[in-house]
Chain A
Amino acid sequence: MNASLISLEIWVVALGLVLMLADFWMPAERKRFLGYAAAAALAVLLVMNLGHCATGTAFNGMFVQDGLAVFFKCFFIIAAILVLFMAVEFSDNLTAGISEYYSLVVFALSGMLFAASANNFAMLFVSIELITVTFYVLTSFQRGRLVSLEAGVKYLILGALSSAFMVYGIALVWGTTGKLNFNELALVAGQFAGNKIFLLGMVLVLVGLGFKIAAFPFQIWAPDVYQGAPTPTTAFLAVGSKAAGFVLLLRVLFTAIPSVSAHWANPLIIISGITILYGNLCALPQRNLKRLMGYSSIAHAGYLLLGVAALSMNGQAAMLYYLSGYLFTVLGAFTVICLVMRHLDNEDISALAGLHQRSPLLATTLTLAMVSLAGIPPLAGFFGKFLLLKAVLEQGATNPGYYCLAFTALAGVVISLYYYFGVIRAIYWSKDTPVDLSPILLSGPAKVTLAICIAGMFWIGLFPNTMVSLATEAVKTLGI
């Protein structure tokens, strides 16, 4: 056993416990600053983690530390740091328990870190549940607001349903093959390719993962939960929880059952295409900005699935690249939403009117984020979509369905231009007369967060080579 491999996770869990205990001694008016302390501690852990990347497995092969795991761990920690900064700005809206909010974010992060390293169905189940159960609480944290509670209850029922499906799937897979470890399963999965019970079990496991990433037809929860949850929670849900679903999807499809998933191109193509169309078409009439982002995140789950459906190393690398651009873009957008709309009852788009006069920095960040989400050069979203489409078209020779999928994705991009530019129009050329033209004062850390997000969007978009080589290096461990 090699327990030193999980030192990062141990530190993160310890940080969560320290934050909970600090709640007892910290004077009430200083509690919100614990968020900065937590973010700083995570930044230190990130640098330490980058410093030495020992690889190997621990706990009898349940836990694997490889290139893919290290890539996603850095991703999750950066996401958590930006979310903690956002939570400090949001703390006025949380009547009680702000330090618990921080520690729950850190516990959810620990679940994501374990998910990045899961190499066993038991580990997959426990890490996913650690994330989901924490998010039930984070979603309904504003328990004085009915929308927040309602979002929490909806997430609870649908989340518990999907985990019940997943557990039953794991039971069937384990019952037929007798293997829980992904590498051991890969050796025997080929023999069970015709076994109906095994296939049913695998499909049920994928249903659970499809729920996490909000892919069609398991996306119903996303708009309501995104709208009702406190804004930092929504941001973490859109980035962290979705990415955790994707890393587990990669592990299950390409480490555990590569010989079976090789024949699943058609279902993956169909799910990816419908998810893109559904997300983009439903986003068109939305007036609530967080709900719009919810539908947009469904569409982006579809784009990310392009990389999975391509069943190739280029596809997986493109997906990782796209996710890293998505991290800065979405967190930038949600930071702006959080800062502009934290004192409003609902997040109607009309509240953005006159934002370029109230705060040019916020207006610029939101504009850049929308441009990047829409996939316009030179920002991160453009090159990511380009790489995903390229990976899909490369496979076109083997299956003509890939051409249809690429066409669907392009159609989705064109549809999405309408609603993303609706947001930009609301900022600069709004027809509604702005009710409030008072300038928005930004704290120093908020400016730093926005600057990091803008820099990330430009860096990943303009200098893609570094990130592409990192992503390619990371997916080599999947070995397809």
Chain B
Amino acid sequence: MNVGLEHYLVVSALLFALGLLGVITRRNLLVMYMSLELMLNAANLALVSFSRFNNNLNGQILVFFIITVAAAEVSVGLALIVALYRKRQTAHVEDLTTMKL
């Protein structure tokens, strides 16, 4: 079987959908955060495969930026979740109910 651009894009779309599903259905902040990272990596995979098959390196450069930004986002995000856990002894979204409509 010849693996082409479409195959990579389907995998990337699946990863993105799985990540989105995780964010919507899971209730643990850490798991939700992992799913968000999965969504970012789906975009990375799409960029790299477009880059490879279109012979254009711009996409791979953009992937570097995305990885760097994602790392910064994770460091801030985990710090926040740890701070919340210390205060509240929980990492579940159901417990975030101080502010109501």
On A, residues with C-beta under 8 Å from B are: 121-122, 125-126, 129, 133, 136-137, 140, 143-144, 146-147, 149-154, 156-157, 160-161, 163-165, 167-168, 170-172, 174-175, 178, 180, 223-224, 227-228, 282, 291
| B65 touching A143, Cβ below 8 Å | no
| B69 touching A164, Cβ below 8 Å | no
| B62 touching A180, Cβ below 8 Å | yes
| B19 touching A164, Cβ below 8 Å | yes
What would 20 A/B residue contacts be, using CB atoms closer than 8 Å?
A: A122-B61, A122-B62, A122-B65, A125-B66, A147-B98, A149-B80, A150-B84, A153-B29, A153-B81, A156-B76, A157-B33, A160-B73, A164-B19, A164-B39, A167-B66, A168-B43, A174-B47, A174-B50, A174-B58, A180-B62
Query: Across the interface, which residues of B come within 8 angstroms of A170, CB to CB?
Result: 43, 62
The distance in angstroms between the C-alpha atoms of A223 and B62, with both chains bound, is 33
Query: Across the interface, which residues of B come within 8 angstroms of A171, CB to CB?
Result: 12, 43-44, 46-47, 50, 59
* With A129-B73, A160-B36, A164-B40 as contacts: A174 and B84 at CB distance below 8 Å: no
CB distance from A278 to the nearest CB of B (A): 12
CB distance from A131 to the nearest CB of B (A): 12
CB distance from A192 to the nearest CB of B (A): 14
Which 5 A-B residue pairs are closest in the complex by CB-CB distance? Answer: A175-B50, A164-B39, A167-B43, A171-B46, A168-B43
The distance in angstroms between the C-alpha atoms of A160 and B47, with both chains bound, is 19
CB distance from A148 to the nearest CB of B (A): 10
B interface: dominant SS:
helix
* With A129-B73, A157-B33, A164-B40 as contacts: A175 and B83 at CB distance below 8 Å: no
| A175 touching B40, Cβ below 8 Å | no
Total number of B residues with any Cβ neighbor in A under 8 Å: 41
Across the two chains, which residue of chain B brings its CB closest to A158? B23
Query: Across the interface, which residues of B come within 8 angstroms of A136, CB to CB?
Result: 73, 76-77, 80
The distance in angstroms between the C-alpha atoms of A282 and B100, with both chains bound, is 13
Q: Mark B36-74, 1 if CB is under 8 A from A, else 0.
A: 100110111011001000101011011001100100110
Query: Across the interface, which residues of B come within 8 angstroms of A121, CB to CB?
Result: 62
| A133 touching B99, Cβ below 8 Å | no
**Contact for A153 among B43, B58, B59, B80, CB less than 8 A:** B80
Q: Does B21 contact A (CB under 8 A)?
A: no
Query: Across the interface, which residues of A come within 8 angstroms of B84, CB to CB?
Result: 149-150, 153
| A125 touching B65, Cβ below 8 Å | yes
| B61 touching A168, Cβ below 8 Å | no
Q: Does B96 contact A (CB under 8 A)?
A: yes
Q: Mark B84-101, 1 if CB is under 8 A from A, else 0.
A: 100110000100101101
| B99 touching A150, Cβ below 8 Å | yes
**Contact for B98 among A125, A146, A157, CB less than 8 A:** A146
Across the two chains, which residue of chain B brings its CB closest to A145? B87
The distance in angstroms between the C-alpha atoms of A171 and B50, with both chains bound, is 8
Query: Across the interface, which residues of A come within 8 angstroms of B46, CB to CB?
Result: 168, 171-172, 175
| B39 touching A168, Cβ below 8 Å | yes
The distance in angstroms between the C-alpha atoms of A170 and B43, with both chains bound, is 8
Query: Across the interface, which residues of A come within 8 angstroms of B16, CB to CB?
Result: 164, 168
The distance in angstroms between the C-alpha atoms of A195 and B16, with both chains bound, is 20
The distance in angstroms between the C-alpha atoms of A175 and B101, with both chains bound, is 41
The distance in angstroms between the C-alpha atoms of A122 and B60, with both chains bound, is 11
The distance in angstroms between the C-alpha atoms of A228 and B33, with both chains bound, is 21
CB distance from B81 to the nearest CB of A (A): 7
Query: Across the interface, which residues of B come within 8 angstroms of A223, CB to CB?
Result: 99, 101
CB distance from B49 to the nearest CB of A (A): 8
Query: Across the interface, which residues of A come within 8 angstroms of B47, CB to CB?
Result: 171, 174-175
Query: Across the interface, which residues of A come within 8 angstroms of B73, CB to CB?
Result: 129, 133, 136, 160, 163
The distance in angstroms between the C-alpha atoms of A147 and B100, with both chains bound, is 11
Query: Across the interface, which residues of A come within 8 angstroms of B36, CB to CB?
Result: 157, 160-161, 164
**Contact for B88 among A125, A129, A146, A157, CB less than 8 A:** A146
| A147 touching B99, Cβ below 8 Å | yes
* With A125-B69, A143-B83 as contacts: A180 and B40 at CB distance below 8 Å: no
Query: Across the interface, which residues of A come within 8 angstroms of B54, CB to CB?
Result: 175, 178
Query: Across the interface, which residues of B come within 8 angstroms of A149, CB to CB?
Result: 80, 83-84, 87-88
| B65 touching A126, Cβ below 8 Å | yes
| A157 touching B32, Cβ below 8 Å | yes
